[in-house]
Structure formats: C-alpha cells, structure tokens
Structure 1
Amino acid sequence: MDYAKFVESSPDVMMGKLVIKGTRIPVELILEKLAAGQTEEELLLDYPRLSREAIHAALAIAAEAVKDMKFYKLAS
C-alpha cells in the first residue's frame, strides 16, 4: 500500500510524529486504539476526518516497521 497518500510527518505537527495527512491524529493513536479493541467503525465515528484507507495505511506502516524484527528468548 502506498501509505504516503494518507500519512505525513512534519516537525511543526505533533513534534514530527507520523500523522494522518491534514490532521493531528497520530498513527500511533490509531494503532493503540485498534490494539485496545476499538473497531474501525468506532474510530471513524470518533474521528470524522479519518478515513478507512487512512486506518489501513496506519496498519501498513506498523506491518512494515515489524517486518524484519526478530525476537530471541534470553537464557535464564
């Protein structure tokens, strides 16, 4: 997904955090709310300037961020 259409970062907005374009809604807020069990429909009602495509862009960014992460169990 080309999430650049929906997400931007500027040092003047939310201290440079990734936000939904044209808003002050941080990508991390969307991810936290989805992780806490909020539905897309609830997010869209709570944030009228948000779109379903922008929510999916936030998820795509998260997927990209963890794509190459590896976790190893430390010996006890």
Structure 2
Amino acid sequence: MLLGKPTIRGTRRSVEFLLERLADGWTEQDLLDNYPRLTREALQAVFAYVHATMKDNLLLFPTNNLRQAS
C-alpha cells in the first residue's frame, strides 16, 4: 500500500494513479510502455479490483467530480 492506497505488487503505482491515467486518455499500451514493471496481468487485476468494489457498492461516485465525456 502507498499511503493506504492499493498498489500494484512490485511497483509504487497505485490503482488510483493508473485509473487517472486511463481517464486522461492513456491506453493500456501507453501504461505498459511508460511503466516497464507493469504487466497486462497487473492491469487486468486493476480492472477486476474496480469491478469488485463497484459490484459490492464499496465505491462511491461523487456526482460533482465526474467528468462529462465529449
């Protein structure tokens, strides 16, 4: 954990950091190219983690912070 945030094992990259990059328009390939310790399996684990937290209603969505897709 990085300051209490879930991270990718073997890296200092948090799930939040990776999701923020994706939200900013980065692709999975961009992440893999820029962070060599990341693997496709690690990114799959990020998506599984987010899915599990959403499914179990553990992830809250503050409506005032959501970006509009254009």
Into which bin does the TM-score normalised by the smaller protein fall?
A: 0.7 to 0.9
CA RMSD of aligned residues (A): 1.9
Tell me by how many angstroms 1:45 deviates: 0.8
Deviations 1:7-61 (CA, angstroms, capped at 9, x unpaired): xx3xxxx222111101111011111111222101000011010001101110111
Runs in 1 of length 4+ with deviation above 6 angstroms? none
1:1-76 correspondence runs (5 A): 9=1, 14-69=2-57
- Asked which structure has the greater CA Rg, the reply is 1
User: Looking at both structures, which has the greater relative contact order when contacts are Cα pairs under 8 Å and sequence separation is at least 6?
Assistant: 1
Given the two structures, how large is their TM-score scaled by the length of structure 1? 0.67
More strand by share: 1
Given the two structures, how large is their TM-score scaled by the length of structure 2? 0.73
Unaligned stretches of 5+ residues in structure 1: 1-8, 72-76
What amino acid maps onto 1:17 in structure 2? Answer: K
What amino acid maps onto 2:53 in structure 1? Answer: A
* Count of residues in correspondence between the two structures: 59
Q: Identical aligned pairs, as a percentage?
A: 49
